[in-house]
Amino acid sequence: MKFVVSTSTLLKQLQNISGALAGNKVLPILDNFLFDIKKNNLTLCSSDLETSMIATMEVECKDNIKVAIEGKQLLDVLKNLSEQPLTFKVDETFSVEISSDNGVYKLNGEDGDNFPKIPKPSGETGELTMAGGTLAHIIGSTFFAIGQEELRPAMTGLFFQLGIDGSCFVSTDAHRLVRIKRPDLKHTESANFIVPRKSISVLKNVLPADLTPVKVAYDKNNAYFDAGNIQLICRLIDAKYPDYEAVIPAENPNVLSINKDDLFAALKRVSIFSNKTTNQVAFNLKGSTLHINGQDIEFSNEANESLACNYSGADLEIGFNGKFLIDMLAAINSEAIRFEMSSPSRAGLVLPEKQADSEDLLMLIMPIMLSGNY
């Protein structure tokens, strides 16, 4: 049994789905890519049992072939071959021989029937379609705030909240929160589910950045993302998402408006001098000037900068994690941003000064108690 395929085309598709390779010592076959060929259609699969990916492409083949091939070794071979047709031969023991213009390479394969079955949508499946660029933007704006503490499983994923009046996407690690409302993404019914961080991380690397439609389907156990020739299937997090609306402060009389790029650059500089454990920076607001301070008392490091701003409210001194603020600003696409705050001990809101009609973006950051001489 044999098939012929382009080096670059195969490499690209394998790289697209390589994020789901497991490195699983309990099930070594999960280190492999599954090749499933029917007529001239090749389906490539990878899985770690929680996240599975599928890519499809055309090859030259007269046989039906199903074989699992070790992933890392195959990727290394393809990366070091020039663009050319490659001939794969698979014998009855699932040994794989790759013939190129330069030579022949032999790999041990496994029976593809031993590869775990990839979940398929059940009969009770909901579905929403959106542009790939829209979903990529949502993930880019929320991913950094997804939690990583396994003791809080609900926070280790991106929360999808679909509804007839629009959809909402939320991430939080208990120190910061991002909420994106999209009134343009309407669903036929209300539905909530949590997609794990790893699946979101893999998905963001393969989503089309244009208007290519992406189908987002879900059932009780899994979510299914279909971007045409790339599909991702993941097991949903079985947990109740926290009541995020309850932590968003309603009254914030102290409002700061400032150029985003100026603040971003200042924070990058000042954070160099802040404590490496707390990443603490202090905002001191008086009149139309924002004073930013970062210091590390242990090493006698300190930096101070002042920026012009528009501020309305009482004089305020408040501390934040500078790294968290930098991540938040990097995810906001706006020339100016607005901070809404109430007191040094309550959460502050970070918002774009201007938002598109199709999006309502809100970010929340918890303050940290100031230490040192400010």
Instruction: Please report, for residues 246, 313, 342, the alpha-carbon distance to residue 252 in angstroms, rounded to integers and kept in the order given.
Output: 15, 9, 5
Angle between helices 322-330 and 260-271 (to 10 degrees): 150
* Residue 357, pLDDT above cutoff 80: yes
Instruction: Please report, for residues 62, 231, 260, the alpha-carbon distance to residue 3 in angstroms, rounded to integers and kept in the order given.
Output: 8, 23, 54
pLDDT of 372 reads: 58
pLDDT tens digits, one per residue of 309-335: 999 999 999 999 999 999 999 999 999
pLDDT of 122 reads: 79
pLDDT tens digits, one per residue of 125-170: 899 999 999 999 999 999 999 999 999 999 999 999 999 999 999 9
pLDDT of 221 reads: 94
- Residue 328 to residue 324: CA distance in whole angstroms: 6
Rounded to 10 degrees, the C-alpha dihedral 206/208/209/213 comes to -140
pLDDT of 296 reads: 92
* Residue 23, pLDDT above cutoff 80: no
pLDDT of 373 reads: 58
If 0-12 CB within 10 Å is exposed, 13-18 middle and 19+ buried, where does residue 166 land?
Answer: middle
- 245 CB neighbour count, 10 Å cutoff: 9
Q: If you average pLDDT over every residue of the chain, what do you get? A: 95
Give me the domains of the chain, ranges plus CATH numbers: 2-114 (3.10.150.10), 126-175+182-245 (3.10.150.10), 248-365 (3.10.150.10)
The model carries a pTM of 0.94
DSSP letter string over 320-339?
Answer: EEHHHHHHHHHT---SEEEE
Per DSSP bridges, beta strands 32-38 and 65-70 are antiparallel
pLDDT average, residue stretch 351-363: 93
pLDDT average, residue stretch 260-270: 98
Report which of 72, 100, 95 is spatially closest to residue 8, judged by C-alpha positions.
100
pLDDT average, residue stretch 93-121: 95
* Residue 188, pLDDT above cutoff 70: yes
* Residue 374, pLDDT above cutoff 80: no
pLDDT tens digits, one per residue of 271-293: 999 999 999 999 999 999 999 99
